[in-house]
Amino acid sequence: MTKVLRIIARLNVGGPARHVVWLSQELKSAGYETLLVAGVVPPGEDDMSYVAAEAGVTPFVVPQMSREVSPKDALTVWKLFRLMLRERPAIVHTHTAKAGTVGRVAGLLYRWLTPSTLIGKPRRCRFVHTYHGHVFHSYYGPGKTRLFLVIEKILARVVTDRIVVVSHQQRREINENFRVGSPEQFAVIPLGIDMSVYFDWEKRRPIARAELGANESDVLIGIVGRLTEIKNHKLFLEAAARLRQLTNSPVRFLIIGDGNLRNELEAQAKSLGLRDCVSFLGTRKDPENFYPALDIVALTSLNEGTPLTLIEAMANARAVVATAVGGVVDLLGQPQNESDEYAVCERGISVRTGDVEGFAHALARLIEDEELRRDLGGRGLHYVKQHYTKERLLADVSELYAQLVDSVTVQTTARSAKELPNQEITSR
Q: Percent of the chain scored above 70 by pLDDT?
A: 95
pLDDT in tens, 72-127: 999 999 999 999 999 999 999 999 989 999 999 999 999 999 988 888 889 999 99
Phi, psi angles (nearest 5°) of residue 114: -155, 145
> Cα separations (Å) of 324 from 121, 234, 320, 364, 381?
47, 17, 12, 18, 20
pLDDT in tens, 266-324: 999 999 999 999 999 999 989 999 999 999 999 999 989 889 999 999 999 999 999 99
Residue 280 pairs in a beta bridge with: 255
pLDDT in tens, 198-212: 999 999 999 999 999
In sequence order, what are the residues at sequence separation of 6 or more whose Cβ sits closer than 8 angstroms to the Cβ of residue 83? 5, 37, 60, 106
> Cα separations (Å) of 302 from 355, 363, 392, 399?
11, 18, 28, 33
Q: In this structure, are residues 225 and 305 in contact, taking their beta carbons and an 8 Å threshold? A: no
- Residue type for 268, please? Q
* Prediction pTM value: 0.85
Compute the distance between CA of residue 270 and CA of residue 274 in angstroms, rounded to an integer.
Answer: 6
